[in-house]
Amino acid sequence: MKFYNRIEELKLLEKLDRQAEQEGVMTILTGRRRVGKTVLALHHVAKKRFLYLFVSRKEEHLLCEEFLEEIKKQFVMPIIGEIRYFKEVFALLLEIGKKEKFTVIFDEFQEFFQINPSVYSDLQKLWDLNRYAVKLQVVFIGSVYSLMHKIFEEEKQPLFGRANRVLEIKAFSFETTTNILRDNGIFSANNLFMYYVFTGNMPKYLDIFLTEKAKNLDDILNIILQKNSLFLNEGKTILIEEFGRDYLTYFAILELIAQGKTARNEIESVLERNVGGYLARLELDYGIVRRHRPIHAKPNTRNQKYKIADNFLNFWFRFIYHNQAAIEIENFAYVKEIIKRDYATYCGPMLEKYFQKFLAESGQFNQVGAYWEKNNQNEIDVVGINDMKKQILIAETKLNKAKISLKALETRAQALLQHYPGYTPTYLALSVEDDFSIKVF
C-alpha cells in the first residue's frame, strides 16, 4: 500500500527538522503496533541524511555492535576503543551531530527497560550537556503505550520534559480510508463500514486485506482464520507486554467487555472480585478502554459503560480469544460459522460507533456521543451537539433502516432535550448505505 495522509504529522516533523539546524531536537512517536509509526518516520527522512536503529531485545554489547555497523555505513569517523554500552553509542552520535546535521531514529525504544534501564538516565545527562551544540533530530519510536508514557511523561523519570514533541499516531480517518478503497477499486458504503468493523482503519490491517483483495465478509474471515495468520495471536502480541504477569486478569475483563458486559457491576458479578483498579489502569495507563457516559452527564456519574477503544481488539477478544480452544486445534470453520452467525448482532454497536466517528470527523459538532438513562432506558445511539449554533442531532442506527421509527426516537429524546432548552433538534435514521459526507446542518 502506498503512503497515505499523515499530512499534519509530516508538517510538524519538518518544522522540528528545521529547528534541528540550530539545536538538538527530540521527537517521540507513540501509538499502538500496526498504526504506521515507522513508515511515517522513514517517509519523513526519505530524502535526508539519517540512521535507522532498531532496538531488539538482546545483550547490550551485541546491540551496540549492530548500531556501530550502521553508523560506519553512513559516516566516516574514527572509533577509538571498544564500545559496549549504549551511552557510548549515543555519545558518538552527538559528536557526529556537532559536525553535520542528520536524523537518527530509534525504533522500539522502550525495549531498554528490559536491556538496561539505566540507559534513560545516561541519555538525560548526555542530552542536557550537548543539546545546544548539535544539529541532530532524534526520533524515538515506541509501541508499548504505558512504557513510552512512563519514559517521557512521568515527572520522576530522567527524560521527563526533554522531548520537544510527543506525537500519538492514530488510525486513518474515514476520508483517508475512503481514498484507499477507491484507489483499490473496491469502495462502497458497505465495504467502508466492513473494513472499519475489522480494522478500525488501522493501516497495517488495511494493507493486509487490500493485498489479499478482500471484497466481502468471507474474504476477510478467510484471511483472519487461517494457519499462521498474523491476526490469531495479535491480541497477545500487542497487549501481553503492556500488562505483564497480570495479563490473564486484564484479558478476562476485556473478553467480558467485548461480549457486551460494559458496566463495572456486570464485570464484577462474573469475576467475583473488585475490578475498579484494573479498569482505571486499562483506561488511564494503557488507553485500551474508554469510559462512556450519557452526553449530558456529569463526570462523576455512576451511569457509565466501558468499551474497548480499538475495533480489532474488540473483535479479537469477542471471537478469537473467546474461541481459543477451536483456534488451537485449527478448527477455523467452526469459528467462522460463529462469527457469521453473530455478525449482524455484533455490528449493531459498531454502527453506532461508526456514525459517532463520522460526526466527530465532520467538524460540525463540539460534543458527540450517545444517550441513555438509568437501566439503559430511552437509549439514543448517536447525539451530536453544536453549542454555538444551538443545534442538536439525534439519530438512531440500524443495519435495516426500515426498522427505525423517527416518531419513537422523538419520544425517547424528550428527556434529553430538557437539558438543551432552545436547541433545534434534527432527527435522522442512519444505516450503512447513508452518505454522511454531506453537511447535516
CATH number reported for the structural domain that contains residue 307 in this entry: 1.10.10.10
What is the helix, strand, coil percentage profile of the chain, to 5? Answer: 50, 15, 35
Determine, yes or no, domain membership for 436: no
- Asked whether 64 and 83 are in contact (CB, 8 A), the reply is yes
Domain tally, the chain: 4
Q: Phi then psi for 145, rounded to 5 degrees?
A: -55, -50
Distance in angstroms (rounded) separating the CA atoms of residues 316 and 198 = 9
Residue with cell 464484577: 268
Categorize the per-residue pLDDT at 440 as very low, low, confident or very high, splitting at 50, 70 and 90.
low
pLDDT tens-digit map of 155-169 = 889 999 999 999 999
Whole-number pLDDT of residue 438: 46
The pTM (predicted TM-score) of the whole model is 0.90
Q: How far apart are the C-alpha atoms of 315 and 121, rounded to whole Å?
A: 40
pLDDT per residue as tens digits for the range 187-206: 999 999 999 999 999 999 99
**Burial call 129-152: b when 16+ CB within 10 Å, e when fewer:** ebbeebbbbbbbbbbbbbbbbbbb
For residue 6, pLDDT beyond 80: yes
Whether residue 336 lies inside any domain: the answer is: no
| Percent of the chain surpassing pLDDT 90 | 85
CB 90 within 8 A of CB 63: no
User: Do 154 and 261 sit in the same domain of this protein?
Assistant: no
- We report the CATH number of the domain holding residue 61 as 3.40.50.300
Same domain, 66 and 112: yes
Residue 67: give the domain boundaries: 7-168
